[in-house]
């Protein structure tokens, strides 16, 4: 086997956002970045949207990068928001398209309510600003509001925004019910894809809750977990490598890149997977 065909050695980024959701670069700009950073396999995984996939696909074939169609689905599990990546799916699947449109329809109303909540707490209306930098009605989310808060100099950084606004218990947070875990995994599997539990360290779950989430996820048909995530430190990578092996889950790698100024790691620069993991992309090469 040629060295570059050993799955662990490939430069893979299976978690990236474009301006089809809350990233700031176009799919083309992202693929150019991936090319510059020697990415071999690239997936675009916008929140609840597949709108950038055609453009990314075309650009990847131009740049000779293997393209994996993806999406990051917002899920409500046990009253918490969880993100499930659907990778290598048929993005023309009609059930998937219908479900994603339904989620997008609820984002606009949620954004209006977020704006009202912020105004009630003395902030100016940020709706036009937030909406102006979201690609379309269905894409608007908390990061668009966070950027508007920074541009009005109400906070200095994203970290400051997400400590004081837009999170449970703070102004601008609106309870929202996304898809259920079982619905999202089923949708992904029915579209021929692979369901991956995204950035598992991000959810502030107790060990008991984490174990219940992984059990439910596997029960509904989830088969992989993001181990080498741009959101994980070295300790968390080790922890989830162990969990992946214990639960027979494949492992994924991705930066969760959103834009150059905001993301710690550039496209393709997530840590490599630990050797003992089974890469989710091994069967796609």
Residue 144 binds Mn ion (CB under 5 A): no
Q: Which is nearer to ligand AMP, 16 or 250 (CB)?
A: 16
β pairing state of 80-87 and 179-180: unpaired
Residue 226 binds Mn ion (CB under 5 A): no
CB atoms closer than 10 angstroms to residue 158: 16
Least distance CB 74 / ligand AMP (angstroms): 5
Q: Which is nearer to ligand AMP, 22 or 40 (CB)?
A: 22
Least distance CB 53 / Mn ion (angstroms): 15
Piece of the chain touching Mn ion by CB under 5 A; list 34-42, 193-201, 204-212, 234-242: 193-201
Least distance CB 2 / Mn ion (angstroms): 32
Least distance CB 158 / ligand AMP (angstroms): 4
Q: Which is nearer to ligand AMP, 35 or 199 (CB)?
A: 199
Asked if 80 contacts 61 with a C-beta cutoff of 8 angstroms, the reply is: no
Residue 83 binds Mn ion (CB under 5 A): yes
* Length, in residues, of the chain: 285
Number of helical (H) and strand (E) elements in the chain, helices listed first: 9, 8
Which CA distances in Å does 49 have to 3, 23, 207?
A: 35, 12, 31
Which CA distances in Å does 194 have to 20, 24, 253?
A: 21, 26, 14
What radius of gyration do the chain's Cα atoms show? 18
Piece of the chain touching Mn ion by CB under 5 A; list 77-85, 119-127, 184-192, 277-285: 77-85
State the binding string over 13-42 for Mn ion (x if CB under 5 A, else -): ---------x--------------------
Which CA distances in Å does 249 have to 126, 196, 280?
A: 42, 9, 9
From Mn ion, ligand AMP, none, interface partner of 142 (C-beta below 5 to 8 A by class): ligand AMP
């Amino acid at each position: 086997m040629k060295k570059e065909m050993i799955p662990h050695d490939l430069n893979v980024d299976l978690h990236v956002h474009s301006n089809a959701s809350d990233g700031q670069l176009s799919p083309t700009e992202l693929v150019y970045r991936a090319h510059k950073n020697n990415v071999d396999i690239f997936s675009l995984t916008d929140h609840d949207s597949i709108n950038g996939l055609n453009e990314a696909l075309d650009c990847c074939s131009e740049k000779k990068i293997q393209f994996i169609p993806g999406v990051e689905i917002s899920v409500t599990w046990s009253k918490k928001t969880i993100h499930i990546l659907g990778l290598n799916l048929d993005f023309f699947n009609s059930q998937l398209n219908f479900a994603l449109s339904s989620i997008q329809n609820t984002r606009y109303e949620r954004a209006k309510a977020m704006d009202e909540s912020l105004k009630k707490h003395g902030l100016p209306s940020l709706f036009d600003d937030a909406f102006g930098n979201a690609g379309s009605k269905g894409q608007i989310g908390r990061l668009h509001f966070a950027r508007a808060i920074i541009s009005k100099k109400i906070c200095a950084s994203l970290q400051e925004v997400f400590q004081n606004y837009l999170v449970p218990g703070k102004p601008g947070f609106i309870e929202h019910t996304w898809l259920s875990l079982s619905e999202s995994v089923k949708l992904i599997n029915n579209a021929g894809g692979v369901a991956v539990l995204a950035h598992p360290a991000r959810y502030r779950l107790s060990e008991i809750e984490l174990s219940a989430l992984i059990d439910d996820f596997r029960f509904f048909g989830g088969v992989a977990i993001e181990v080498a995530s741009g959101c994980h430190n070295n300790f968390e990578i080790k922890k989830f490598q162990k969990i992946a092996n214990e639960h027979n889950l494949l492992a994924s790698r991705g930066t969760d890149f959103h834009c150059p100024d905001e993301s710690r790691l550039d496209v393709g620069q997530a840590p490599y997977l630990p050797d003992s993991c089974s890469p989710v992309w091994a069967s796609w090469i």
